[in-house]
């Protein structure tokens, strides 16, 4: 049986991948993912071969947080260029606005299975966003201020 694999490859000394992430805001908090090195980003992960970016973000949120979510809008596609472990990296990132499938009066409990990241609810009123890539901060800020325009194509060079 064929197992779908992450769209991630190395070409000579360069790397390329396709990622799908989501903005999930509940009760004045945003769900953030903190990696082992302290890097803070939005939850999500690699898109697999044969999988849409929309299906990937739903799957990744379930794996990482235990939450059932659905997509509201595709907010942006971000071409993210950076250096990782000495290699030039080109990442195509699909960014969705998400909502939980069931509404709750309290923040949903995070119960994912990922071992290399920690997910937590960040209080938007008292804590500063410091997401990577930094262009994510602007997309979230515009969404919170109800200034989110239509779909955006963004290019970020670190």
CA 84 to chain centroid, in Å, comes to 18
Question: What secondary structure does DSSP assign to 69-129, as a single string?
Answer: EEEEEEEEEEEEEEEETTEEEEEEEEEEEEEESS--SSPPPP----SSEEEEEEETTTS--
Question: What pLDDT, in 10s, does the model give residues 70-124?
Answer: 999 999 999 999 998 899 999 999 999 999 998 766 666 776 666 678 899 999 9
Structural domains of the chain ordered from first start: 8-101+109-157 (3.90.79.10)
Confidence of residue 145 (pLDDT cuts 50, 70, 90): confident
Residue 37 has what pLDDT? Answer: 86
Query: Which pTM does this prediction carry?
Result: 0.91
Residue 47 has what pLDDT? Answer: 97
Instruction: Tell me the mean pLDDT in the region 19-43.
Output: 93
């Amino acid at each position: 049986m064929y197992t779908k694999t992450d769209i991630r490859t190395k070409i000579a000394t360069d790397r390329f991948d396709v990622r799908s992430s989501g903005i999930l805001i509940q009760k004045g908090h945003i769900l953030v993912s903190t990696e082992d090195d302290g890097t803070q980003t939005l939850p999500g992960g690699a898109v697999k071969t044969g999988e849409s970016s929309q299906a990937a973000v739903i799957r990744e949120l379930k794996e990482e947080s235990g939450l059932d979510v659905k997509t509201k809008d595709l907010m942006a596609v971000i071409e993210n260029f950076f250096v990782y472990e000495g290699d030039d990296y080109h990442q195509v990132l699909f960014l969705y606005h998400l909502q939980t499938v069931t509404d709750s009066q309290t923040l949903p409990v995070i119960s994912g299975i990922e071992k290399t990241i920690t997910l937590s609810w960040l209080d938007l009123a008292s804590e500063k966003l410091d997401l990577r890539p930094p262009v994510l901060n602007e997309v979230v800020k515009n969404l919170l201020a109800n200034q989110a325009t239509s779909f955006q194509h963004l290019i970020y060079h670190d």
